[in-house]
Amino acid sequence: MAKLKGVSGAAIPPGLSNEAAGGVALLGTSLIAFVLANSPFAPSYFELLHRVYLGLSLAHWVNDGLMTLFFLVIGLQFKREWLVGASGHVGEARITWPCGAGWHGPAGAYSLGF
């Protein structure tokens, strides 16, 4: 597994220095949600999701708030790739640019409420 290097002198916490850490965390939490939604605890789980906090349900906070953070992180990763990665060199960016630009469609659809 590749290790991330600190950019601009920024220190990366030890647990997050492995590129797979985020994927493992996402897979683990998705598995927990899947099991809870399909278990005898499902009514309590869905009640928790639809409980209102500060005027919005927890599901709404997750959909809007965490998706905003998700697209922020994607944008920061794209910027990092542009500044220090292969996308900064024209010859090496021929394949990475179309792939990197592909997130604009889902972000636009989400922003417009589709």
* Model pLDDT for residues 4-49, shown as the tens digit of each residue: 454 555 565 666 566 677 778 888 988 998 998 898 988 888 888 8
Is the CB of residue 22 less than 8 Å from the CB of residue 16?
A: yes
- DSSP track, the chain: -PBPPPSTTPPPPGGGSBTTHHHHHHHHHHHHHHHHHTSTTHHHHHHHHT-EETTEEHHHHIIIIIHHHHHHHHHHHHHHHHHHSGGGSTTTHHHHHHHHHTTHHHHHHHHHT-
pLDDT for the residue numbered 31: 93
pLDDT for the residue numbered 88: 58
Of 70, 80, 55, 81, nearest to 103 (Cα)?
70
Q: Map out the domains of the chain as residue ranges.
A: 15-49, 55-114
* Model pLDDT for residues 37-89, shown as the tens digit of each residue: 898 988 888 888 888 878 888 888 888 888 888 888 888 877 777 777 665 56
More confident position, 42 or 105: 42
Give the separation between CA 71 and CA 74, rounded to whole angstroms.
Answer: 5
